[in-house]
Amino acid sequence: MTKIKIKSEVKALIFDLDGTLSNSLPIHLFTWEKICQEYNCHFNEKIMIDLTGKPTIMFARRVIDENHLIGVTAEELVKKKQQSFWDNAGLLEPHSEIVSLVYENYGKRPMAVGTGACRKSAEIQLEVLHLTKYFDAVVSADDVTFHKPDPETFLKCAKLIGVKPSDCQVFEDGVLGMEGARKAGMFLTDVRSFTYKKYANTII
């Protein structure tokens, strides 16, 4: 039985993907380190904390800036990083405590995924984790103009599943996503103590 509580007044659930439903952060870290080895540079793990919920190109720009890379474009890094992640997607595992909520609420409440990942990455992860059928909507980085911490991702989820923002509960591990959920006027559950324990005590 999960220890995570769902508010009694909540009518819909919205889940972040990376680090929430999917234990993908070790794979992201592995693939970023692999790419940085190719460019003889260093990947700062703090980027994973600071930018969780942002599109991959924001990570790439930070890597270029911190390492003072010359003659390398963010788009080039993104292309290689995403392909490496997709190639290693078979190693992904679910965060069982969070995924159990999906199973328990399937058919009882509408559910959506609101992620900073591109649509292809989101679809691959959901497929690998056998979660695709459980969600009524998926909003990716490709589907919004403004990314987390802007509330657009979560507000679009609510619109697609036909539930008022104030009746939605968001499950997030990223500081930026949590800020976006609050701005959207939704109930928020910080899942870090159930998932990515290394960063469980990060101050919001």
Catalytic residue numbers, as ranges: 16
Residue 173's Cα: distance from chain center in Å? Answer: 8
d(CA 68, CA 86): 27
CA 75, CA 44: separation in Å to the nearest integer?
Answer: 19
Distance CA 62, CA 170 (A): 27
Running DSSP on this structure, what letter comes out for residue 117? S
User: Which residues have CB under 8 Å from 92's CB, separation 6+?
Assistant: 22, 23, 24, 27, 125, 128, 129
Structure letter (DSSP) for residue 168: E
Q: What is the sign of the dihedral through the CA atoms of 46, 204, 186 and 192?
A: positive
